[in-house]
């Protein structure tokens, strides 16, 4: 297996663009942009940039690129990256522009990058430093670790950023962006791993290594301990596999943090999902190796929370299992009993994620969580509702969902609130148990969320359904095909903002 990601050396500078020494100089450009602040750029390109813009070859639509050669500047090449209209500019566009520039450099086998944050926007220097660092680190990722016949990978070795400001706040923001980018790439690495390489036990080993390296407390509960806790939902899903389940518990307890709130993060960790007895179609089943994306997000978010010393107590709970159609597998019509004592009639064994999350939510409450967020590749129904670009947000009360929505906006993880009206619970009614594990096709993402809600107690809770966003089906200028690392940055941004939401009720 090859190295799949690398963090380049990132430095800040106040140099003019002509003095930035790099293999490739990245300059973001707006549609309504005269580039007046980049004096001499068109002349250095021999008039090529001006000509390309005047004839419409480069119109600066979002993430369009144009490459030109420069004479008399320290950087021999320039890459213009479109940002669209200035009025539509956001920090996420700057993050994506940085990723676009980083990927373009690597495609051209260039290792030294410089990028400027243009003046005249509402994005402050510290915010710009963070998102640009995130973007270039996200670009320094390779999703094909097992290929042996391609040319050696080319990595960005050094990145120089000009953000229009210096000082401790900007340096701290740069470090924050570096940690968030690294955590996202670690999550992508795990999600790309095939099911025969990343079993529940191997995931637990990797989680222990990552957690200890970040200064987290980590416990791994084996099948014996899970049975002692009477986690019948997790054990029921695991029954069909020869691989035993694991429950990973991560704890962040920073010095001086108040005893409350305690942020509880729960991530779905199905390392391979066949659907069980309700087996999935063969087409695209290979993708089910990424059904542990929620668990990977929680693991790496907790590591980043610890590295950044977020001033809030947090506990992460990740139930790990395979969902296989073995001789002992749970069958449609079976009744499972949760650790909380609630009974579930299993109508579809492919609705397994909510089962293992139910026991994990209960356990997060036992470990002192006061505010809950679960992350899961839960339903195909959310993809029907929101497509592949937006995660679904479900939860209660509204103010807590809003806090998670705000965090996702800062993180660049697009999400959208969905309803959780009590009427939908009628679809989960069972004649012989407390409720069923599926309510059918209609409103499937909502009933999946409402099943998980049954295990929140009375705590504020938000469910993030990342079934459509955990994996990019096609290559974009800022994102190659494959795992995206979605939700990692959202959870970290939420933890870093605890002082604000911890006061809300």
Average pLDDT of span 250-258: 94
Phi and psi angles of residue 106, each rounded to the nearest 5 degrees, phi first: -65, -40
Q: Which string of DSSP letters, residue by residue, matches 303-333?
A: HHHHHTT-SSEEEEEEEEEEE---TT---TT
pLDDT tens sequence across 476-503 = 999 999 999 999 999 999 999 999 898 8
Whether pLDDT at 38 is above 80: yes
At 502 the pLDDT is 85
At 487 the pLDDT is 98
Apex CA 417: angle with CA 415 and CA 423, to 5°?
145
Helical (H) or strand (E) element with 69 = strand 65-69
Q: What is the chain's mean pLDDT, rounded?
A: 96
Average pLDDT of span 153-170: 94
| Beta pairing, strands 65-69 & 77-82 | antiparallel
pLDDT band at 185 (very low <50, low <70, confident <90, very high): very high
Helix 91-107 vs helix 125-139: crossing angle, to nearest 10: 40
Contacts of 364 (CB under 8 A, 6+ apart): 264, 265, 266, 315, 317, 372
From the candidates 201, 230, 280, 367, give the one annotated as an active-site residue. 280
Torsional sign, CA 468, 473, 478, 480: positive
Whether pLDDT at 32 is above 90: no
Helix 353-366 vs helix 444-453: crossing angle, to nearest 10: 30
At 504 the pLDDT is 81
Count of Cβ atoms closer than 10 Å to residue 475 Cβ: 11
| Beta pairing, strands 391-396 & 415-417 | parallel
| Beta pairing, strands 269-273 & 77-82 | unpaired
Q: CA of 92: how far to CAs of 54, 326, 354, 372, 495, in Å?
A: 28, 45, 31, 26, 19
The answer as to CATH 3.40.630.10 being correct for domain 198-501 is yes
Indicate if 429 belongs to the active site.
no
* Contact between residue 188 and residue 5 where contact means Cβ atoms under 8 Å apart: yes
Whether pLDDT at 309 is above 70: yes
pLDDT tens sequence across 350-375 = 999 999 999 999 999 999 999 999 99
Q: How remote is the C-alpha of 437 from its chain's centroid? A: 26
Question: Alpha-carbon distance 365 to 272, whole Å?
Answer: 27
Phi and psi angles of residue 388, each rounded to the nearest 5 degrees, phi first: -100, 0
Torsional sign, CA 454, 455, 460, 465: negative
- Residue 405's SS3 state is helix
Beta bridge partners of 319: 247
From the candidates 354, 365, 410, 489, give the one annotated as an active-site residue. 354
pLDDT tens sequence across 416-454 = 999 999 999 999 999 999 999 999 999 999 999 999 999
pLDDT band at 1 (very low <50, low <70, confident <90, very high): low
The two three-digit tokens of residue 87, written as one number: 């009025």
Which sequence spans correspond to the domains of the chain? 9-184, 198-501
pLDDT tens sequence across 95-129 = 999 999 999 999 999 999 999 999 888 899 999 99
Beta bridge partners of 323: 273
Whether pLDDT at 411 is above 80: yes
Please choose, from the candidates 199, 167, 240, the residue with its C-alpha nearest in 3D space to the C-alpha of residue 14.
167
pLDDT above 90 as % of the chain: 93
Please choose, from the candidates 416, 417, 412, the residue with its C-alpha nearest in 3D space to the C-alpha of residue 390.
416
pLDDT band at 153 (very low <50, low <70, confident <90, very high): confident
Please choose, from the candidates 31, 29, 36, 13, the residue with its C-alpha nearest in 3D space to the C-alpha of residue 78.
29
At 148 the pLDDT is 85
Indicate if 95 belongs to the active site.
no
Residue appearing with tokens 């813009």: 53
pLDDT above 70 as % of the chain: 100
Contacts of 414 (CB under 8 A, 6+ apart): 389, 390, 391, 408, 469
Query: What phi-psi label fits residue 221: left (phi over 0), alpha (psi between -120 and 50 degrees) or beta?
Result: beta
- Assigned CATH topology for domain 9-184: 3.40.220
At 505 the pLDDT is 66
Question: Alpha-carbon distance 45 to 67, whole Å?
Answer: 10
* Contact between residue 220 and residue 248 where contact means Cβ atoms under 8 Å apart: yes
Torsional sign, CA 123, 126, 131, 136: positive
Apex CA 378: angle with CA 373 and CA 384, to 5°?
115
Whether pLDDT at 152 is above 80: no
Question: Alpha-carbon distance 452 to 445, whole Å?
Answer: 11
Average pLDDT of span 288-293: 97
């Amino acid at each position: 297996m090859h190295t799949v990601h690398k963090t380049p050396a990132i430095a800040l500078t106040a140099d003019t663009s002509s003095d930035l020494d790099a293999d490739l100089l990245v300059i973001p450009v707006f549609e309504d942009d005269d580039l007046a602040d980049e004096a001499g750029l068109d002349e250095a390109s021999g008039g090529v940039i001006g000509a390309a813009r005047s004839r419409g070859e480069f119109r600066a639509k979002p993430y369009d690129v144009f490459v030109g050669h420069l004479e008399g500047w320290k950087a021999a090449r320039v890459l213009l990256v479109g940002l669209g209209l200035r009025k539509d500019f956001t920090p996420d566009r700057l993050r994506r522009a940085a990723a676009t520039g980083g990927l373009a450099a690597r495609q051209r086998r260039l290792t030294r990058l410089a990028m400027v944050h243009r003046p005249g926007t509402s994005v402050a220097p510290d915010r710009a430093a963070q998102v640009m660092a995130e973007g270039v680190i996200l670009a320094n990722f390779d999703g094909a670790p097992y290929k042996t016949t391609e040319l050696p990978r080319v990595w960005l070795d050094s990145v120089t950023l000009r953000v229009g400001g210096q000082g401790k706040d900007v340096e701290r923001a740069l470090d924050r962006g570096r940690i968030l980018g690294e955590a996202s790439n670690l999550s992508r690495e795990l999600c790309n791993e095939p099911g025969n390489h990343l079993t529940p036990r191997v995931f637990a080993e990797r989680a222990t290594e990552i957690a200890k390296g970040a200064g987290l407390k980590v416990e791994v509960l084996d099948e014996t301990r899970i049975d002692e806790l009477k986690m019948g939902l997790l054990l029921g899903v695991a029954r069909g596999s020869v691989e035993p389940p694991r429950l990973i518990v991560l704890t962040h307890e920073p010095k001086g943090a108040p005893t409350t709130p305690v942020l509880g993060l729960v991530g779905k960790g199905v390392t391979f999902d066949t659907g069980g007895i309700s087996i999935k179609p063969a087409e695209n089943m290979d993708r089910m190796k990424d059904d542990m994306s929620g668990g990977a997000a929680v693991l790496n978010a907790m590591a980043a929370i610890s590295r950044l010393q977020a001033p809030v107590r947090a506990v992460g709970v990740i139930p790990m299992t395979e969902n296989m159609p073995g001789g002992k597998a749970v069958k449609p019509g079976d009744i499972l009993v949760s650790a909380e004592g609630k009974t579930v009639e299993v109508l579809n064994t492919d609705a397994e994620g909510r089962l293992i999350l139910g026991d994990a939510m209960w356990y997060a409450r036992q470990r002192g969580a006061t505010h809950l967020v679960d992350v899961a590749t839960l339903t195909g129904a959310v993809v029907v509702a929101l497509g592949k670009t937006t995660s679904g947000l479900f939860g209660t009360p509204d103010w807590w969902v809003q806090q998670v929505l705000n965090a996702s906006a800062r993180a660049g993880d697009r999400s959208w609130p969905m309803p959780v009206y009590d009427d939908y619970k009628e679809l989960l009614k069972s004649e012989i148990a407390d409720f069923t594990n599926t309510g059918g096709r209609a409103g499937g993402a909502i009933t999946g969320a409402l099943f998980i809600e049954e295990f929140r107690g009375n705590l504020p809770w938000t469910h993030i359904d990342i079934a459509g966003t955990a994996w990019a089906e096609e290559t974009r200028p800022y994102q190659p095909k494959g795992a995206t690392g979605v939700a990692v940055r959202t959870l970290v941004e939420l933890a870093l903002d605890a002082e604000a939401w911890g006061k809300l009720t």
